[in-house]
Structure 1
Amino acid sequence: MNNINKNFGINLKSLLKANHKSQKELAGAISTSQANVSNWIKGTHKPSNQKLTLIADFLSVPLSALLSSESDETIIKTTQTMQQLVTKRRTAVLSYARVQLEEQVHESEALFSVPEIETVTFEQYDLEFAAGAGISLDEIYHVKPERVTLPASEIPSHFVLSFVVRGNSASPLFEDGDPMFGFPSTMITTEGLYAVQYDGSTFMKYIIPHRDHLTMHSFNNEEYPDWETDPEIPVYVIAKIIIPDARGVYH
């Protein structure tokens, strides 16, 4: 005897009792022998799919009530109550049950649905703003941007330019390959994170301005110590970079 047959037999016996039906009545209604019904209840045999449907119709229950791994007491009690109702009231109960089923389906869909993520598509320049060598300022204007799409939660609400970080000089704030965002700028009036060209190389540095020179600071200060610019060498500012918070979130 397998578990499926055993469960079916237990459920069939309970549902026959709940409906005040005998094995003989079931056998006559679905054109089979009482011996077959007895074997089904014992769990030694299982009816065909066609007979299963006929049994469910005879007992006015869904197939799940017959095949459930556990006898559903609620279904049995509901069936018993339905048997005592007049047709008009049975119809009302059935209509209410269908409404409940629809609500259950909608709740399940909402539970397992994946929320739609808002995205933003923008142009991004793949340039080398790193601690060392980069490209010349003249070459920047010949680089064609690529269109990139990212979740809106991962980018600032307002920006004009976007670049790709190269190298690890800004680690852990920015890692190699991360996007960074900013606004075009030509002057350094307050300290902040800037993309600049200096002495033939491009840099992304946290810059602290002084009266006649700049302190160039890297977030990865162990590998890239601070250094000072030469007052005689001009610094060309490309953009001021927007800095995310410690969690990497832009505000």
Structure 2
Amino acid sequence: MKKYLLSAAVTALSVSGLMAAPAVANAAVFVSELVYRDGATGPQTPYGSVTITELNADSLKVEVDFTNANTVFVNTGGPHNPFVFNTLYVDQATKPHAAATDDPNAITLDAPVGKFYDAGRGSFENTPFGTFTNEIALNTGNGQVNGQQDPMIFTVYDPHGITFAGIGATVSNTGLLLTTGTGDHFTSNSGGWWFSADIYDGATGKTYNVAARDAIEQIQNAVPEPGTWSLMIVGFGGAGAMLRRRRAGMAALA
């Protein structure tokens, strides 16, 4: 009988709209792991990860974290840069994204800033992973003693709109990014590399460039909008009241 009463109550509330499906707010999130290093063959245990969150239609947040607490970003000279990545701006004839007055102000470093600064857009080499279009640099000397701990967090803002992999990008059933889409977005370089960092590795005591080749879209749990919670509470409260009334009616008939 209880099962019937609960089912009837929920059905009635659903019809009345009290138990309407909650609105949810999800942001696209991709994770790219730094699992390759120069001088080694094939992928290794991750040295760190790059998490990209689409905050809204024109802003992305990028966070870089290391797996070892003693690993730091460094300058080691030569074709090594603390952190590099690629942005693809389209329709440059009508939207001059590559102009010096447009792009350098598009990246904002979030706390903790530490020794990081935006080196702008250009051509930055991280051997053997090729060249990249953007660099987050360090304003210190070379070596571990001048290194900067993680996290590195920055926001990329594009008033013309930006996504991580482009509008219409495709992923596999495991979330692996397969193809990029259209519009302004991040991209891999000609060698297929998305990100690269110059690090002092706390696990080995050595310095080298590490890089990420793949990106995985994260499955986001549906989180009700704040205004939806009150609607849900009212709905459950109504369900309880209906159950109590039905129980009282059944008791009177007994």
Which TM-score tier does this pair reach, normalised by the shorter chain? Answer: under 0.3
Q: Give the structure with the larger strand fraction.
A: 2
The structure number with the bigger radius of gyration is 1
* Greater relative contact order (Cα < 8 A, sep 6+): 2
- TM-score, normalization: structure 2? 0.23
Q: Give the structure with the larger helix fraction.
A: 1
